[in-house]
Amino acid sequence: MICLSLSNPCAAFENEKVQDEILAMGVGKIVQGNIAAGKSEAISDAMGKAMEEYLILRLGEAEMINNFERLVGEIFPTFREGIENFHILAENMTGEEYQVLIRVKVNTKVVDEKLRSSGLALEQAPQGRILFMVSEVQGAKSRYWWKGPESFSIMNQTEVVLYRIFQERGFMPIDHTFGIGDRPLSPELKSGELANSSALKWGKMLSADFVVTGQSVLQDDTSATLQLRVLSVKDNLVLGEGTETGLKDLNAEPGEGGGNLLERVANKLTDRLIPSILSLRTETAGETQHIQVTLKGMRSYRDFKDLQNFLKEDVPGVKSVQQSRMSQGVLSVDVDFAGSRDQLLHRLLSQEKLPLKLVLQSATETAIVLLVSQ
């Protein structure tokens, strides 16, 4: 893709203003001699590229990566609404292709309003300070830095990979290698398998907003298993957890998957976990939604109690859960939740500790109907 910006590429950084005029080239196919259709296609291609360039400059790399699915689904399909006007600067025909060079004027008010209404942050502020407490097991050896934190060791390779991934997503990873001096530590803070409460204490000591705990098990270059849990220090909440395993693919092309085996596994798992942090960021304090959750196909009262406890204890943002209706195989509960219906649904279905397998049947603004899958 050829797309040149008239603005300084550094304009997306600091607080410089992103210019609203973009220079872009587009190409269209000339089919059965229809030059007009080829020119129209080329102009549309160039306008799409101009809008992509503007969004990259406006949002920055981290927001583009974190919200790519939303951008593709909600913003790109309606990009023409954000174009104020355009001018063709040059055009050319080569064989069966029509090429144009245009200058596009972006209607920044329209685009920014669409971005804000989709929940995207325009301020480019850091997502938060994040601390990694992930042990690394290779054979009989287990490495974790908090075992002797008075003089911290260098990061293990799992931490280095996570450091890079989260930094690219706009977070500020904490470098723990400086040590903590002579501060006394209780035995549970040095345990290889940290309890959530201990990890949260570490987060408070090192001024973290989030703590990522877990373990990676590496078998030479043949397999890698990564288990992670994400904690919010301020809210004392488990935001998400998951496990990912990868095996070396002998048939893979060189460099396929964006790096070595551990990097590919880490990228897959963090792609599932990072949205739980971003959804917490978008919640507004005090905005509690009253949402009715109906479950069809319940097998026993024990299933209901397990799910009720799961909602209360493992789904961030849930303030209360009250039974409202119960009949043969159908149960409804009223949930007070700090966030939107979509956030509740995402957190409910994405948690690996979910006691029942559920699938979505229907949803309105204030009600969700789920089926218990046998």
Same domain, 262 and 139: yes
pLDDT at 71: 79
CA separation for the pair 163, 186 (Å, rounded):
27
88 forms bridges with which residues in the sheet? 102
Note down pLDDT in tens along the chain; length 374 residues. 334 333 333 333 333 456 788 899 999 999 988 999 999 999 999 998 888 888 888 777 767 777 777 778 777 787 778 888 889 999 999 889 999 999 998 888 788 777 766 656 554 445 688 999 999 998 888 888 888 765 556 788 899 999 988 887 778 888 777 666 566 788 888 888 889 999 999 998 888 889 999 999 988 778 899 999 999 888 787 888 889 998 876 655 544 443 488 999 998 898 888 877 776 655 544 467 888 888 888 777 777 778 778 887 777 778 888 877 777 778 788 888 877 777 787 777 766 677 777 777 777 778 888 888 75
Q: What DSSP line would sit under 252-283, residue for residue?
A: PPTTTTSSSHHHHHHHHHHHHHHHHHHHHHH-
pLDDT value of residue 6: 33
**Spatial distance between the Cα atoms of 292 and 334, rounded to a whole number of angstroms:** 5
Note whether residue 123 is domain-resident.
no
* pLDDT score for 281: 56
Residue 124 lies in a domain: no
**251 and 220 in a common domain:** yes
Domain final residue, candidates 52, 87, 117 = 117
CATH code (residue 81): 3.30.1660.40
CATH of the domain at 229: 3.40.50
40 shares a domain with 155 = no
Final residue belonging to a domain, choices 252, 282, 312: 282
The answer to the question of residue 64 being in a domain is: yes
Are residue 302 and residue 353 in the same domain, yes or no?
yes
Instruction: Please indicate, yes or no, whether residues 57 and 153 belong to a single structural domain of this protein.
Output: no
Domain enclosing residue 13, as ranges? 3-117
Assess if residue 341 is contained within a domain: yes
* Rounded Cα gap, residues 357 and 310, in angstroms: 13
Query: 249 and 327 share a domain?
Result: no
CATH label of the domain that carries residue 316 = 3.30.70
The pLDDT assigned to 216 comes to 93
Instruction: Name the pairing type of β-strands 223-232 and 288-296.
Output: unpaired
- Please return the burial class of 13, using the count of CB atoms within 10 Å of its CB with bins 0-12, 13-18 and 19+: exposed
The reported pLDDT for the residue numbered 331 is: 79
The reply to whether 62 falls in a domain is yes
In-domain check, residue 213:
yes
| 292 and 338 assigned to the same domain | yes
278 and 294 within one domain: no
Specify whether 292 is located in the same domain as 278: no
Nearest alpha-carbon partner for 167 in 214, 135, 128: 128
Q: So what's the pLDDT on residue 89?
A: 92
Q: Are residues 144 and 242 in the same domain?
A: yes
Extract the runs of DSSP E, i.e. beta strands, from the chain. 3-5, 21-29, 83-94, 97-106, 129-138, 141-143, 172-173, 210-219, 223-232, 237-247, 288-296, 318-327, 330-338, 358-363, 367-372
pLDDT of 47-67, one tens digit each?
988 888 888 887 777 677 777
Co-location of 27 and 91 in the same domain: yes
User: Final residue of a domain: which of 264, 282, 300?
Assistant: 282
Please check whether residues 64 and 144 belong to one and the same domain: no
- Please state the domain count of the chain: 3
In the numeric block, which tokens belong to residue 197? 């409460």
